[in-house]
Amino acid sequence: MESLKRKPEAERATTFGATQTPLGTTRLRLIELVASIFRLDVPKVSLEFANKDLFQTLMDLIVQYEWNNFLHNFVEKIFVSTLENESHELRKKV
């Protein structure tokens, strides 16, 4: 999860004047990969992600990048896949 938390070096000005480091294509694709893994419905793998504080990291990214619709869509898919999973232990992690 460290690769998701690490910030890119360059900051950019937003349309409302604040500077923000971009999420980046690589981190966005990593989150998309995680969403695909959750859709495979392999409870052991999903549970390992959940044990590594994935859900808290995703929520932190949602707050930090509140205008990134791609990120929000992938995170939503991860949460929906988790909540629709039959594993009670995995749903408890959310």
The answer to whether 57 touches 75, Cβ cutoff 8 Å, is no
Query: What pLDDT sits at residue 23?
Result: 85
Mean pLDDT value of segment 12-18: 60
User: Could you report the per-residue pLDDT of 55-91, keeping only the tens digit for each?
Assistant: 999 999 999 998 899 999 999 999 998 888 888 888 8
CA 73 to chain centre: 9
Collapse the DSSP code of 38 into the 3-class scheme (helix H, G, I; strand E, B; otherwise coil) and give the result.
helix
